[in-house]
Structure 1
Amino acid sequence: MDSYVIRFLLILIIVLLRVAPFNSLYAFASADGRNLQGTLAFASVGRAHYAFDIYTLPLQPLRFSTNLEETLVTDGESVNHNGQYLQGPGIQTLMHRLNINTTSTPVENVMAFVSERDGFPELYLNIYLKDNLPLLAEKAEENSRREALEDGKRCLTINFGGVFEEKGKKDMPDLSMKDRPSMAGNSMVYVSTRGQTKASRKSWAAVYSTSIKTGRTRRLTPDGIADLSPAVSPSGEWVMAASAGERGWQGEIRDLETDLYVFRASDGSGRRLVVKHGGWPSWADDNTVFFHRQAEDGWWSVYRASVNSSSALVERITPPGIDAFTPAASRTGPWIAVATRRPGHDYRHIEIFDLLKKKFIQVTRLVSPNSHHYNPFVSSDRIGYHRCRGGHVGNRVPVLEQIRSPLPSLSLFRIDGSFPSFSPDGSLIAYIPNIEYSGVYVMRLDGSGRRKIFSGAAFGTAWDWKRGVVYTSAGPGFETETTTVDIVAIYNADREGTSESEISYKTLTKEGNNAFPSPSPDGKFVVFRSGRTGHKNLYIMDAEEGEEGGLWQLTEGPWTDTMCNWSPDGEWIAFASDRDSPGSGGFAMYFIHPNGTGLHRVLNSSTAGRVNHPWFSPDSKSLVFTSDYAGVSAEPISVPHQFQPYGEIFMARVDGSELQRLTHNAYEDGTPSWGRIFIAASDLTGEGESVKCDFDDDHWLQRMNGESVGSVSC
């Protein structure tokens, strides 16, 4: 019997006996699924570099396209977007609630917008006062508001939820996404993900209203239904929203094929279907609504509908040849503002479409030609939108951004990169930076001391439990089984002060597409995914010698088993698999013992859904992962490009129970990991890169000569 066979048999014997549990250096408790400790880190596609702020332009000079003066109307803190000027009697109620005397302190206008200052999209108000008068607010809650001088006017910025929203309701979570604010009478109307659905792949997004007088919040969307992009009629009596109705979300990432429903702003009653296939409604008057949809010829276009006719007359407004979407209807003239993406142009821009002349008037291309602009809104004399502020204000993107966590003993951070993993003692993080910084980096838990330990294309990171080694997949991602991708061990990754030239490497695999390495807790083996047989299945190899030291196939079949993670106690290997419907794009989470026994499904998000990138907690009793369980939270065309806009971070017990959503936004959140040390936001250094505004617009809007260019495959 040759030496290779002997080594293989020894490895197999050890694996069959299973590896010894790793002795934790830090206490970790999760007796009830709630008493959890440590730090979770995850990635969001492009989000770290958005740095959105809201800008406005005066309408009058647009007629002549001269003397345009762009005004920054948000404060450069975090990400600010989706603004809306507020109108109606609720303004006076708002001022009274804030103890602002409008007689001595006249209010010029009020803008509601969305800001992500705590990592969650929440509603904020900017109150602009006339004539630079001092603010008179004797009982103002100074902790939740700030004064800023903008263009010679006094501006008060208020966290709407912190002042007005009802507190202490046990059936409603404190953390949720809030978006698309408008005022209806004495209430604020908006979309929120605060109500959990009972079925998988059902969006949590619904329309709510919060009374400015009482703070009472009520749901206007019927239970079991998801509503997006609400808009309030000029009278304040009606709300229109884009809804999937009973059909629900079917996995769309472009045109959601929603329908437009109208209902009373007071209580949600009188709900009725107005238009089949439409999104992003905007009222011109109480009888006329503009909206967008993708036409049969493939172009995104804006349409007009009459709301009160027995059968809504729908008319296409913008012509083919230009993608036009997210309309904002003027209530003072025959025009609408839209976002456009013109064939052959690199950026999304805001334009005005003259309804009488049926011509476009350029807006943002005249003042900021090399930035993407999103989601216009209008008043009687100004047009607003949001774009990346770049180096103007707040030009530093921290490598770690705190996200408000639903569990006080579990810190939650977004990383400016992807595939984070924590060293065994929890003091270091390995990760893959943004695409322009290829390779693997290591930094301290507070975000300091970043250093490069590997050059070249790579994805996935995992630390050896016994040695200062980081494993990664060296090569391109999202490729076929035959594409060469190697598992590489990076030595001395934990030694601070070690230069990249002093780091050593070893390629552990020999052939095929090999990825997502995860070491056993005794440091002797590595489980990984390989496509060497023509299908992507799981294998175990020697951690030090690689395939030369022995190779054992753990799973086998004409499907994809991938994204594996070995539990710290050595008992289980968790992985994502499409074996329920091979090639469908749907992935569920499976467990298997390292000896190949005990295979079972733990979590799925319906047959077509996705549960990806599982990662065990340090005590092996819980997992964190990304999933489409909550569907989409906003119309994908209204945000920059997301590969999977339905991806959110969830956690659960290892038996699949106590499922809990951790993130709420319109972005793709993914590749989470779990470290054993809790770190507070105050402990972070704030180090990071400069804002470059180099994120992508939707790839499927890129056209050349009128044709779509490519598509993204996951």
Structure 2
Amino acid sequence: MKSTQYFYLLIIIFFFLLNLIPSPTSATHDNTNTNTHTSILFTTSGRLSYAFDIFAVPTTHSPTKSNELQLTDGNSINFNGHFPASLPPSLVSHLPDHSLITEKLPFHLIYVTERNGTHHIFYDAVFHGTSQSPERRAILELSGSTRVQVPLVGVDQSDGRVSLKDKPSLAGESLIYVSTHEDSGVPRRSWAAVYSTHLGSGSTRRLTPKGVADFSPAVSPSGVWTAVASYGKKGWSGEVQELDTDIYVFMTRNGSGRVKVVEHGGWPSWADDNTIYFHRRCDDGWWSVFKAVLSGERGVDSVSTQRVTPPGLHAFTPAASTVNKNLIAVATRRGTSEYRHIELFDVVSKKFTEITRPVSPHAHHLNPFFSPDSSWVGYHKCRGTGNGRGSDTLLLENLRNPIPGISLFRIDGSFPSFSPSGDRIAYVRSPGLYVVNYDGSGLRQISSRSAFSTAWDPKRKGVIYTSFGPIFASERTEVDIMSINVDDKDLSYKQLTIGGQNNAFPSPSPDGKWIVFRSGRSGHKNLYIMDALEGEAGGLRQLTEGPWTDTMCNWSPDGEWIAFASDRENPGSGSFEMYKIHPNGMGLRKVIQSGTGGRTNHPYFSPDGKYIVFTSDYAAVSAEPISNPHHYQPYGDIFVIKSDGSEIRRLTHNSYEDGTPAWGPTFIKPVDVELPNGGHPCSFEDCHWLSVRPNVSVMDASFGLGSAKIECAQ
């Protein structure tokens, strides 16, 4: 009897213990996906040097440092402003009762702002003192100045969508802006589209037809019409300077009545409901501003256009005065200056008037806009040091990630990689290679040589692989792979490749025995595998072979796959697709292609190997490149895809070039991390192609131009 009782007791204990083991269903419900609580890093060249604020100077008398006003808060990246002609009730309700009876009416400003790496549109009302404080340079410096800030469109106002906002305008109660939150459904077709959000109700309407990309919207003075730079149905063909868009006009209310009014033009601005100024790059190589006069039919054949700014300088991103339709504000690049400046131009007298060069001659000024009475012209520029975060550069900038449980950061460098435990980051920043703790502490320069690509050894603590030599070089260029023990007091180096035939992009196998890399030793850039300790002297095997380029390889955590980028479908074209292959050379398959002629680069496996993060022009370009500082490729976003090529997701939405992503095992707290030793704010460059003087026989246009001969396709 006693033995029977023990038997039943054992049965009860068995079932009790069985119930403690979670079922597969409960494990899924508990969200035990190993990708959660991880982090993704990527680079945007120069982006963390931006410290933009919106400024304004008067047009009624000579601009000086003392009468330039800083209008935005000095803490965010603020750009692409607009002074609304009138305020709808939804915004008036935010103003204090005394605001309309003060001696100095406030500045009303609508602008794009990047806060925590996310784009928003804000309305600011800035009260700027009285006549007792006439000398003022920055609103923020005034005692007694107050500010009203109202978020209009952003994450909280758009159901969590994160997207670019481009050039916002106000039409009555409706905000008109660009967003990139809707997938175009076609690889390499831009997601940029114009939307209208009613500020009272919050209801949003898409004004751009499906399958079409629109940029740089401008609302006419009456609010009835909106003009955009658009591809129509033709799509983006990979332009990196001028987008070759056309100007379309449609009704602001609902997008109806859409018609093309100008072939080859961008950045429209209305002087009145029948006059549009826009820019284009002319046949003579100069960027110039044009004037289009619309007839009642508003078709491209019934619109007359004429070039208004002369050759001899670049003039672009025009803003038209609605008070004097012969007056425009433009950004210029003159041969006598390395900087982009704002100038006024009278299209009748052909006279330029300097606006920003007397105020800050050694700074870039972007995208001008007029106040409703044309007495002020606004623009954005780097605020420099001394205000807000302008004196420091971030090491890591947190961005909102649409995938829960994964933190997303922009790093002030390129080619980042995580140590196996995730506590340290290696990255490249000219000049040299750096290692830093993920919290920003312990920053060290490991080498001052020109490096690119980094990878940590998964087994040997403190060992990093990198390449030394020029990037974007030919097959025969001397580039070699090195291993560096960064924990060694003497930083011991070991050269792993021999011969210097452009050996780059090392990635170790998860067991630490082998390294896959790309090499041009055969005359073509293909993939090879070598011994991780001794390099190619300890064993070398060619993995891929062909008259094309296989590059940017990454070994999966389970050791089963190597992902890489290749132009094998069109060698030498610059078009890259993502492939994966087994380390034994079997099972080659394409993971994703970014349309014909597209680029998909820098694949990097997630810690569990089920996903791949990569950079691509899959979503094409998001804004007119000339409206931004220089980016080698003014397109490219970060995407995540399942390793089988399904379920692509876009992580970044901006008009810059995002690249070289890495996926690490540590969840970095989603807050910005400052560069320990400060930084160099405002060190970005203007678009390099604006430095070219197309025709040196044409003198730089003077400020009192007179009657210059103007020749360009009309």
The TM-score with structure 1 as length reference comes to 0.87
| Match among 196, 204, 212 for residue 225 of structure 1 | 212
Aligned partner of 2:493 in structure 1 is 505
Aligned residue runs from structure 1 range 51-62, under 5 A:
51-62=51-62
CA distance in 2, matches of 1:428, 1:34: 20
Shift of 1:340: 0.6
SS in 2 for 1:57: strand
CA distance in 1, matches of 2:691, 2:29: 49
| Match among 325, 328, 334 for residue 319 of structure 2 | 328
2:35/2:607 contact within 8 Å kept: no
Structure 1 residues 593 and 31, CA gap change in structure 2 (3 angstroms) = farther
Structure 2 residue 381 is matched with structure 1 residue 387: yes
Shift of 1:538: 0.4
Structure 1 residues 299 and 250, CA gap change in structure 2 (3 angstroms) = same
Aligned residue runs from structure 1 range 277-288, under 5 A:
277-288=264-275
Report the structure number with the largest CA radius of gyration. Answer: 2
CA distance in 1, matches of 2:238, 2:28: 37
Question: Aligned AA for 1:45?
Answer: S
SS in 1 for 2:626: helix
CA distance in 2, matches of 1:67, 1:687: 32
Gapped runs of 5+ residues in structure 1? 1-26, 134-146, 168-172, 709-714
CA distance in 2, matches of 1:527, 1:34: 25
| Match among 520, 533, 549 for residue 560 of structure 1 | 549
Structure 1 residues 585 and 91, CA gap change in structure 2 (3 angstroms) = same
Cα deviation 1:468-514 (Å, max 9, x = unaligned): 210001011011111100101001x2x3xx65xx2110010112111
CA distance in 1, matches of 2:449, 2:28: 36
Shift of 1:326: 0.2
Shift of 1:154: 1.8
Shift of 1:391: 1.3
Aligned partner of 2:168 in structure 1 is 181
Aligned partner of 1:408 in structure 2 is 404
Gapped runs of 5+ residues in structure 2? 1-26, 132-138, 698-714
Shift of 1:608: 0.4
Question: Aligned AA for 2:306?
Answer: E
| Match among 671, 674, 682 for residue 663 of structure 2 | 674
1:560/1:578 contact within 8 Å kept: yes
SS in 2 for 1:533: coil
Aligned partner of 1:307 in structure 2 is 294
Structure 2 residue 503 is matched with structure 1 residue 514: yes
2:333/2:690 contact within 8 Å kept: yes
Over aligned residues, Cα RMSD in angstroms? 2.4
Question: Aligned AA for 1:321?
Answer: G
Shift of 1:405: 1.1
1:263/1:269 contact within 8 Å kept: yes
Aligned partner of 2:630 in structure 1 is 641
Question: Aligned AA for 1:473?
Answer: S
Shift of 1:195: 1.3
Deviates more, 1:515-524 or 1:448-457: 448-457
CA distance in 2, matches of 1:632, 1:470: 35
Question: Aligned AA for 1:318?
Answer: T
SS in 2 for 1:649: strand
Cα deviation 1:517-541 (Å, max 9, x = unaligned): 0000010111001011111000010
Structure 1 residues 686 and 695, CA gap change in structure 2 (3 angstroms) = closer
1:148/1:156 contact within 8 Å kept: no
Aligned partner of 1:459 in structure 2 is 452
CA distance in 2, matches of 1:186, 1:360: 36
Aligned residue runs from structure 1 range 598-617, under 5 A:
598-617=587-606
2:394/2:673 contact within 8 Å kept: no
Structure 2 residue 469 is matched with structure 1 residue 482: no
2:393/2:681 contact within 8 Å kept: no
CA distance in 2, matches of 1:312, 1:35: 56
Structure 2 residue 350 is matched with structure 1 residue 363: no
Structure 1 residues 83 and 688, CA gap change in structure 2 (3 angstroms) = farther
Structure 1 residues 28 and 662, CA gap change in structure 2 (3 angstroms) = farther
The TM-score with structure 2 as length reference comes to 0.87
CA distance in 2, matches of 1:413, 1:186: 36
Structure 1 residues 657 and 231, CA gap change in structure 2 (3 angstroms) = same
Shift of 1:269: 1.0
SS in 2 for 1:116: strand
| Match among 311, 331, 334 for residue 339 of structure 1 | 331
Shift of 1:410: 0.3
Percent identity over the alignment is 54
Structure 1 residues 31 and 564, CA gap change in structure 2 (3 angstroms) = farther
Aligned residue runs from structure 1 range 107-146, under 5 A:
108-129=106-127
Deviates more, 1:646-655 or 1:74-83: 74-83
SS in 1 for 2:167: strand
SS in 1 for 2:92: helix
CA distance in 1, matches of 2:34, 2:665: 15
2:439/2:673 contact within 8 Å kept: yes
Aligned partner of 1:43 in structure 2 is 43
Question: Aligned AA for 1:214?
Answer: S
Shift of 1:306: 1.1
CA distance in 1, matches of 2:220, 2:677: 43
Question: Aligned AA for 2:43?
Answer: A
| Match among 151, 160, 167 for residue 159 of structure 1 | 151
Deviates more, 1:27-36 or 1:324-333: 27-36
Question: Aligned AA for 2:441?
Answer: S
Shift of 1:204: 0.6
Question: Aligned AA for 1:427?
Answer: D
| Match among 323, 347, 351 for residue 343 of structure 2 | 351
Aligned partner of 1:423 in structure 2 is 419
Question: Aligned AA for 2:385?
Answer: G
SS in 2 for 1:113: strand
Structure 2 residue 226 is matched with structure 1 residue 239: yes
Structure 2 residue 438 is matched with structure 1 residue 445: yes
Cα deviation 1:34-79 (Å, max 9, x = unaligned): 97440000000210101111111111113xx668621111111131
SS in 2 for 1:528: strand
CA distance in 1, matches of 2:30, 2:112: 35
Structure 1 residues 163 and 631, CA gap change in structure 2 (3 angstroms) = closer
Structure 1 residues 532 and 239, CA gap change in structure 2 (3 angstroms) = same
Structure 2 residue 277 is matched with structure 1 residue 290: yes
Cα deviation 1:62-99 (Å, max 9, x = unaligned): 3xx668621111111131111110113x4444212678
CA distance in 2, matches of 1:362, 1:245: 36
Structure 2 residue 182 is matched with structure 1 residue 195: yes
Question: Aligned AA for 2:578?
Answer: M
Aligned partner of 2:243 in structure 1 is 256
CA distance in 2, matches of 1:122, 1:588: 33
1:364/1:373 contact within 8 Å kept: yes
SS in 1 for 2:441: coil
2:284/2:695 contact within 8 Å kept: no
